[in-house]
């Protein structure tokens, strides 16, 4: 004898029912088969919905009823049996009874647990009849046996307890004399010893199957569902989840108790007692190996076997100084909850005994609070304890594994990886058996938490980075292209799965939680929604993905003003925008503090020298205990261009114009020529060296003419360059006379910084600096005479993009 159970989706359409019939036909060739079926997928929910609508005097219960009817009629028609008349007339009879029941509920305005069980029983009665009749009609040796005649329970409606002795003997008796090869049994439904209709609890068809398997002492129980086994975690929440090959009864029970819906927890007990393995299989992929739940073949090397979660949790806290040292509080608390039939899912108690915290289903919260407040009425009146506090909107996540107890550091890893991703933990419970570590977190964080933990315990080898880029102009575009090109390399060599989730320019923004297809990003951005900075931030926050990184490729101060918001959400910030780091010292310090506090890296290597590793080198020197004594640097590609091309044959105005036209200067060239841009850069280096200063503290003696400094507009400025050509020619002539080159130099010496034009003599490292190159010389305690020199292209879209890229990878390695 074989026992198989098919769940709601497996019998949810005519197509799937045909798959089921094929599987049963094959099995029946070598053995008799008992097949337990659920209601057609979604029907139990719809029945309950209709019942509640009727109870609430909501006429739309008729619509729900009609939808139930239509679904079944469609399936019967599609199954296309010549006996559809028999099936349709049974359907008709049952639907009439159902309609009468709903009308009754509507009239009396009440839906008791007893009526509710009667109501939902229609689901399994219909599905089992349709399947059995279809099989008979196709010439198979099949009969439907109503489980209500076999499974006997008490009258605990909606979740009745089974009388195993009676039930087992009924089942054994029936099958002893049954002649058909295939017996179809409705799952979930039963009858009390008084003959009332009862059910075994939501998801209870699994339980029916286990009861039949145990009664018949079969070799294994097969649960056929819509996924290929019990997964490492809910596959609908975590794409990387995979089926667990072998798992122990205890682990399976623990996982299912904590929300792995694929198995109804009580299912395990009857088969565990007889050591009957449960095999979970996929109706849509019958060749997949699935999961075997048993006491054998347990791989002892794995620690965490799976991660599960339950939503809709409320936390009840009983607190007060009057509880300390006085026995009996917990007893009274739990007795009250038991009387109210409130199922306690998680318990924690502070060791000071000052508080007891319990996790329960939110639907029970109000009832529980009222009852507990009543129980402790006196103590509350005497202020010995506080009225019970209820928090909702929570979920439990749990790590499960028989072997966790033999390994240290699992809870440490669990909580630190959650913490790093800014997931706040409200309560923690660890069973003494250490098969389970659970935490209560906000419902909104569940998906992030599951993905984080799954990555930590099951995919330790790859790390997913979720990148959001604002500003896809010249540099931003190069960055996206570089990411596209390097994606596979990063995955294979650095085990980093880099995904661009959001993109924005000043007009449009686009998001894709699964990663934007970078082959087509421009088109997607073009068709995106209207961009706003706050809207972009809100979406990044709401998506709530682990390892999120915000990348600022703008020069916009409004974008820079949002960094604090990102960091507070534990979202790393990578910026080529210099504004934040050269802003007011308090703001710079705030961002640094937030970055530490929320464990969110804030990196801005490209603020100085584009892709050159200037800041990283400086940070490494400081971190290793070196002290920066002096920095000498040429940090402006644009000013280099200007002074490399300016001589007695060219006009200063023309050279500046050319630099502007070729994109070497900011659109407003005064930002470069006034030295402000360079001052910002040396300010950032000074700050990173550990010196607190502001932009005003940097001395900046301008080489511009009086009129140039005072110009109000860019046009005025260019006009002044023409008028004051002599002034600029004099600068050149003076340098030439001394055989010097003009370079715009930034300096930092003993806590003071300055920027200005200098005449550089031959032989000096700055003398031959070409094109857009930058050079930085660090004099430190360890490099006192011969400085550490970093030199190379200090501007350009490609090198800046690669600097941003390097920062993103640094965040990933954090």
> Which residues are annotated as catalytic?
681
Q: How far is the CB of 123 from ligand ASP (least distance, A)?
A: 5
Residue 227 contacts ligand ADP per CB under 6 A: yes
* Residue span binding ligand ASP (CB under 6 A) among the ranges 197-205, 316-324, 510-518, 528-536: 197-205
Closest listed residue to residue 159, CA positions, set 261, 252, 266, 52: 266
Nearer to ligand ASP (CB atom), residue 263 or residue 808: 263
- What's the rounded Cα separation, in Å, for the pair 471 and 505? 5
Hey, which residues between 105 and 164 contact ligand ADP (CB under 6 A)? none
Nearer to ligand ADP (CB atom), residue 306 or residue 675: 306
* Residue span binding ligand ASP (CB under 6 A) among the ranges 36-44, 81-89, 274-282, 667-675: 36-44
Composition of the chain by helix, strand, coil, percent to 5: 45, 20, 35
Residue 203 contacts ligand ADP per CB under 6 A: yes
Size of the site for ligand ASP (CB under 6 A): 13
Binding pattern for the stretch 288-317 against ligand ADP, x by CB under 6 A and - elsewhere: ------------------x-x---------
Q: How far is the CB of 187 from ligand ASP (least distance, A)?
A: 5
Residue 180 interface partner, choices ligand ASP, Mg ion, ligand ADP, none, CB cut-off 5-8 Å depending on type: none
Nearer to ligand ASP (CB atom), residue 132 or residue 380: 132
- Find the binder of ligand ASP among 10, 16, 28, 44 (CB under 6 A): 44
- Find the binder of ligand ASP among 38, 190, 375, 570 (CB under 6 A): 38
Residue 290 contacts ligand ASP per CB under 6 A: no
Angle at 238 between CA 235 and CA 240, to 5 degrees: 90
- Find the binder of ligand ADP among 57, 217, 236, 710 (CB under 6 A): 236
Residue 9 contacts ligand ADP per CB under 6 A: yes
Residue 122 contacts ligand ASP per CB under 6 A: no
Tell me the CB-side half-sphere exposure of residue 748, using CA atoms within 13 A.
32
For strands 699-701 and 752-761, give the pairing. Answer: parallel
Residue 646 contacts ligand ASP per CB under 6 A: no
Q: How far is the CB of 378 from ligand ASP (least distance, A)?
A: 42
- Burial class from Cβ neighbours inside 10 Å (0-12, 13-18, 19+) for residue 31 reads exposed
Q: How far is the CB of 188 from ligand ASP (least distance, A)?
A: 4
Nearer to ligand ASP (CB atom), residue 123 or residue 476: 123
Token pair 């990102």: residue: 566
Q: How far is the CB of 493 from ligand ASP (least distance, A)?
A: 46
- What's the rounded Cα separation, in Å, for the pair 429 and 425? 11
* Residue span binding ligand ADP (CB under 6 A) among the ranges 134-142, 226-234, 403-411, 636-644: 226-234
Q: How far is the CB of 7 from ligand ADP (least distance, A)?
A: 2
* Residue span binding ligand ADP (CB under 6 A) among the ranges 50-58, 260-268, 403-411, 806-814: 260-268
Nearer to ligand ASP (CB atom), residue 206 or residue 605: 206
Q: How far is the CB of 54 from ligand ASP (least distance, A)?
A: 19
Nearer to ligand ASP (CB atom), residue 38 or residue 544: 38
Token pair, residue 265, equals 């927890």
* Residue span binding ligand ADP (CB under 6 A) among the ranges 87-95, 231-239, 462-470, 641-649: 231-239
Nearer to ligand ASP (CB atom), residue 210 or residue 440: 210
Closest listed residue to residue 396, CA positions, set 350, 361, 369, 365: 361
Binding pattern for the stretch 201-220 against ligand ASP, x by CB under 6 A and - elsewhere: -xxxxx--------------
- What's the rounded Cα separation, in Å, for the pair 688 and 173? 83
- Which residues make Cβ contacts (< 8 Å) with residue 401, sequence separation at least 6? 251, 302, 303, 304, 305, 306, 435
Hey, which residues between 780 and 799 contact ligand ASP (CB under 6 A)? none
- What's the rounded Cα separation, in Å, for the pair 16 and 26? 16
Q: How far is the CB of 225 from Mg ion (least distance, A)?
A: 7
Q: How far is the CB of 262 from ligand ADP (least distance, A)?
A: 4
Residue 261 contacts ligand ADP per CB under 6 A: yes
SS3 assignment, position 147: helix
- Burial class from Cβ neighbours inside 10 Å (0-12, 13-18, 19+) for residue 534 reads exposed
Neighbours of 718 (CB within 10 A): 18
- Which residues make Cβ contacts (< 8 Å) with residue 538, sequence separation at least 6? none
Nearer to Mg ion (CB atom), residue 278 or residue 540: 278
Residue 234 contacts ligand ADP per CB under 6 A: yes
For strands 33-37 and 2-6, give the pairing. Answer: parallel
- What's the rounded Cα separation, in Å, for the pair 113 and 92? 25
Q: In what order do the strands lie in the sheet with 463-470?
A: 529-530, 508-511, 496-504, 463-470, 548-552, 572-575, 602-603
Residue 198 contacts ligand ASP per CB under 6 A: no
Token pair 């009425």: residue: 377
Closest listed residue to residue 804, CA positions, set 622, 603, 637: 603
For strands 152-153 and 306-319, give the pairing. Answer: unpaired
Neighbours of 557 (CB within 10 A): 11
- What's the rounded Cα separation, in Å, for the pair 654 and 646? 9
Residue 123 contacts ligand ASP per CB under 6 A: yes
**Contact positions toward ligand ASP, by CB under 6 A?**
7-8, 38-39, 44, 123, 187-188, 202-206
**Contact positions toward ligand ADP, by CB under 6 A?**
7-10, 38, 203, 225-227, 230-231, 233-236, 260-262, 306, 308
């Amino acid at each position: 004898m074989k026992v198989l159970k098919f769940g709601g989706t497996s019998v949810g359409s005519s197509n799937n029912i045909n798959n089921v019939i094929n599987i049963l036909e094959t099995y029946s060739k070598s053995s008799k088969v008992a097949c337990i079926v659920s209601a057609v997928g979604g029907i139990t929910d719809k029945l309950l919905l209709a019942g509640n609508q009727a109870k609430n005097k909501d006429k739309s219960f008729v619509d729900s009823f009609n939808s139930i009817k239509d679904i079944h009629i469609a399936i019967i028609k599609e199954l296309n049996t010549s006996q559809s008349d028999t099936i349709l007339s049974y359907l008709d009879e049952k639907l009439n009874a159902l309609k009468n029941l709903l009308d009754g509920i509507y009239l009396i305005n009440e839906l008791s647990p007893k009526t509710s069980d009667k109501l939902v029983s229609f689901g399994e009665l219909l599905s089992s009849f349709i399947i059995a009749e279809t099989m008979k009609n196709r010439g198979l040796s099949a009969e439907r046996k109503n489980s209500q005649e076999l499974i006997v329970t008490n009258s605990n409606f909606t979740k009745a307890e089974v009388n195993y002795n009676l039930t087992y003997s009924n089942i054994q008796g029936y099958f002893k004399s049954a002649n058909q090869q295939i017996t179809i049994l409705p799952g979930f439904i039963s009858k009390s010893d008084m003959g009332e209709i009862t059910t075994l609890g939501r998801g209870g068809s699994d339980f029916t199957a286990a009861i039949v398997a145990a009664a018949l002492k079969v070799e294994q129980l097969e649960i056929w569902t819509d996924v290929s086994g019990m997964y490492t975690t809910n596959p609908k929440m975590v794409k990387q989840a995979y089926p667990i090959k072998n798992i122990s009864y205890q682990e399976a029970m623990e996982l299912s108790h904590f929300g792995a819906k694929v198995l109804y927890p009580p299912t395990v007990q009857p088969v565990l007692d007889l050591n009957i393995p449960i095999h979970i299989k996929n109706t849509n992929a019958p060749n997949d190996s699935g999961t075997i739940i048993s006491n054998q073949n347990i791989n002892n090397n794995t620690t965490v076997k799976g991660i599960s979660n339950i939503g809709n949790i409320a936390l009840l806290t009983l607190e007060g100084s009057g509880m300390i040292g006085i026995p009996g509080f917990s007893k009274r608390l739990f007795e009250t909850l038991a009387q109210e039939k409130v199922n306690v899912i998680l318990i924690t108690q502070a060791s000071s005994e000052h508080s007891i915290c319990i996790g329960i289903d939110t639907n029970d919260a109000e009832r529980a609070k009222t009852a507990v407040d009543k129980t402790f009425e006196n103590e509350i009146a005497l202020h010995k304890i506080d009225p019970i506090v209820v928090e909702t909107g929570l979920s439990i996540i749990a790590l499960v594994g028989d072997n966790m107890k033999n390994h240290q550091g699992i809870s440490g890893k669990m909580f630190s990886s959650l913490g790093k991703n800014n997931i706040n933990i409200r309560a923690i419970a660890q069973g003494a058996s250490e098969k389970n570590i659970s935490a209560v977190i906000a419902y909104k964080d569940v998906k992030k938490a599951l993905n984080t933990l799954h990555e930590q315990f099951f995919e330790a080898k790859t790390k997913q980075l979720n990148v959001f880029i604002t500003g896809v102009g010249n540099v931003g575009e190069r960055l996206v292209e570089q990411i596209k090109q390097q994606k596979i390399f990063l995955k294979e060599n650095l085990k980093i799965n880099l995904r661009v989730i959001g993109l924005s320019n000043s007009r449009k923004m686009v998001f894709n939680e699964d990663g934007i297809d970078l082959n087509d990003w421009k088109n997607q951005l073009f068709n995106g929604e209207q961009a706003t900075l706050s809207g972009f931030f809100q979406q990044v926050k709401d998506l709530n993905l682990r390892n999120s990184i915000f990348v600022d490729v703008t020069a916009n101060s409004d974008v820079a003003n949002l960094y604090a918001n990102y960091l507070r959400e534990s979202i790393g910030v990578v910026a080529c925008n210099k504004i934040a780091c050269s802003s007011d010292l308090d703001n710079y310090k705030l961002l640094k503090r937030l970055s530490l506090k929320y464990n969110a890296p804030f990196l801005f290597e490209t603020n100085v020298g584009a892709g050159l590793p200037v800041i990283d080198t400086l940070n490494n020197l400081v971190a290793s205990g070196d002290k920066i004594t002096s920095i000498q640097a040429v940090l402006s590609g644009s000013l280099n261009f200007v002074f490399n091309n300016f001589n007695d044959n060219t006009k200063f105005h023309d050279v500046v114009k050319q630099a502007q036209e070729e994109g070497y200067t900011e659109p407003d060239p005064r930002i470069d020529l006034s030295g402000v841009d360079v001052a910002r850069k040396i300010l950032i280096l000074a700050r990173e060296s550990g010196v607190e200063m502001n932009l005003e503290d940097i001395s900046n003696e301008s080489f511009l003419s009086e009129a140039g400094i005072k110009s109000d507009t860019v046009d005025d400025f260019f006009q002044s360059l023409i008028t004051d050509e002599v002034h600029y020619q004099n600068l050149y002539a003076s340098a030439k006379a001394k055989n010097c080159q003009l370079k715009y130099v930034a300096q930092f010496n003993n806590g003071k910084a300055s920027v200005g034009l200098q005449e550089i003599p031959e032989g000096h490292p700055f003398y031959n600096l070409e094109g857009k190159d930058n050079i930085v010389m660090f004099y430190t305690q360890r490099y006192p005479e011969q400085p550490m020199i970093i030199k190379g292209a200090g501007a350009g879209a490609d090198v800046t993009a690669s600097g941003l890229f390097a920062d993103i990878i640094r965040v990933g390695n954090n």
